[in-house]
Amino acid sequence: MLSLILFLVVVLLLGTVALIVWPILGHGSEYVPNSEEIRWLRSTSVVQDEKGRKAFGRATLERRGGLNVLKLFGSHYEMGYQHGALLRDEIQRGAVPFYGRPTENLAPFKHMNKVMRVLLAKYFDWKIYRPLLKCSPRQYLAEVKGLADGSGLSFADVFRGNMLSDLNMNLIKVLEKKALKQGGTDGCTSFAAFGNATVDGSLIMGRNTDYTGGGLWDRYQTVVFYEPEDGHKFVSVSSAGLIKCNSCMNEKGICLGAHFLFLDDTKADGVSFTFLEMEIMKKAGSVEDAIAVVSQNPRAGAFAFLIVDGKANEAAVIEASANHVGVRRPEDGVIWETNMATTEPILSADVLLRNGIGKNPIARFERMRMLIHENKGKITPELAAQFMGDHMDMCSDSLRPAGGIISQVSNLTSVVFRPSNFDFWVADGLSPVCNNAYRGFNLMEELADGYGTAKPTMLEPNEYVKTPDYTALRKYYEAMVSFTVPPTDENAALAHLEEAIALRPQEALYRRLTARMLLRRARAADAAEHLRRALECVQSPSERAQAHLLLGFANDLLGRRNDAVQCYQDALNVPSSGKNGVLSAVNPFVLADAKRFAQAAFSSDDAKKIEVSFEIIAKHDL
Q: For 113-127, 292-306, 406-420, 565-579, which range has the lowest pLDDT when averaged over its residues?
A: 565-579
For residue 498, the tally of other CB atoms under 10 A from its CB is: 15
Confidence of residue 300 (pLDDT cuts 50, 70, 90): very high
Distances (CA, A) of 403 to 246, 380, 564: 22, 27, 27
pLDDT (0 to 100) of residue 482:
97
How does strand 247-250 pair with strand 254-260?
A: antiparallel
Distances (CA, A) of 563 to 238, 368, 571, 598: 50, 42, 12, 11
pLDDT (0 to 100) of residue 179:
42
Q: Where in the chain is the domain with CATH 3.60.60.10?
A: 186-266+274-465
Q: Which helix (H) or strand (E) holds 503?
A: helix 490-503
pLDDT (0 to 100) of residue 354:
87
Residues 98-127 as b or e (16 or more Cβ within 10 Å = b): bbbbbbebbbebeeeeeeebeeebbebbee
Q: Is the pLDDT of residue 177 over 70?
A: no
pLDDT (0 to 100) of residue 409:
95
Tell me 436's DSSP state: S
pLDDT (0 to 100) of residue 355:
86
CATH of span 25-52+71-179: 1.10.439
Fold type of domain 505-621: 1.25.40
pLDDT (0 to 100) of residue 36:
84
- Phi, psi dihedrals of residue 171, rounded to the nearest 5°: -70, -25
Q: Is the pLDDT of residue 21 over 80?
A: no
Please give the distance of CA 611 from its chain centroid, rounded to a whole number: 19
Please give the distance of CA 390 from its chain centroid, rounded to a whole number: 18
Q: What is the pLDDT of residues 506-565, one digit of tens each?
A: 999 999 999 999 999 999 999 999 999 999 999 999 999 999 999 999 999 999 999 999
Distances (CA, A) of 412 to 23, 211, 216, 221, 612: 32, 7, 9, 8, 20
Please state, in angstroms and rounded to a whole number, the distance separating the CA atoms of residues 47 and 92: 19
pLDDT (0 to 100) of residue 6:
59
CB 101 within 8 A of CB 216: no
Question: DSSP secondary structure string, 353-364?
Answer: HHTT--HHHHHH
Q: Where in the chain is the domain with CATH 1.25.40?
A: 505-621
Confidence of residue 180 (pLDDT cuts 50, 70, 90): very low
CB 260 within 8 A of CB 163: no
For residue 445, the tally of other CB atoms under 10 A from its CB is: 15
Q: Is the pLDDT of residue 13 over 80?
A: no
Please give the distance of CA 599 from its chain centroid, rounded to a whole number: 38
State mean pLDDT over 37-53.
91
CB 484 within 8 A of CB 216: no
State mean pLDDT over 452-473.
94
The CA-to-CA distance between both ends of the chain, in Å, stands at: 57
Residue ranges in 504-603 assigned as alpha helix (H): 508-520, 524-534, 541-557, 561-573, 588-599
pLDDT (0 to 100) of residue 434:
98
Query: What Rg value do the Cα atoms of the chain yield, rounded?
Result: 25
Q: Which helix (H) or strand (E) holds 247?
A: strand 247-250
Q: Which of 620, 611, 549, 544 minimizes the C-alpha distance to 589? A: 620
State mean pLDDT over 345-373.
94
Q: Which of 512, 567, 513, 507 minimizes the C-alpha distance to 537? A: 507
Q: Which of 410, 464, 54 minimizes the C-alpha distance to 212? A: 410
pTM score, whole prediction: 0.94
Q: What is the pLDDT of residues 315-335, one digit of tens each?
A: 999 999 999 999 999 999 999
Q: Which helix (H) or strand (E) holds 251?
A: none
Contacts of 22 (CB under 8 A, 6+ apart): none
Please count the CA atoms within 13 angstroms of the CA of 28 that sit on its side-chain side: 26
Confidence of residue 173 (pLDDT cuts 50, 70, 90): low
For residue 318, the tally of other CB atoms under 10 A from its CB is: 27
State mean pLDDT over 180-208.
85
Q: Is the pLDDT of residue 278 over 70?
A: yes
CB 136 within 8 A of CB 268: no
CB 250 within 8 A of CB 238: no
Please state, in angstroms and rounded to a whole number, the distance separating the CA atoms of residues 292 and 277: 12
pLDDT (0 to 100) of residue 183:
43
Q: Is the pLDDT of residue 178 over 60?
A: no
Confidence of residue 356 (pLDDT cuts 50, 70, 90): confident
Confidence of residue 1 (pLDDT cuts 50, 70, 90): low
Q: Where in the chain is the domain with CATH 1.10.439?
A: 25-52+71-179
Percent of the chain with pLDDT over 90: 85
Superfamily of chain region 186-266+274-465: Penicillin V Acylase; Chain A (3.60.60.10)
pLDDT (0 to 100) of residue 306:
98
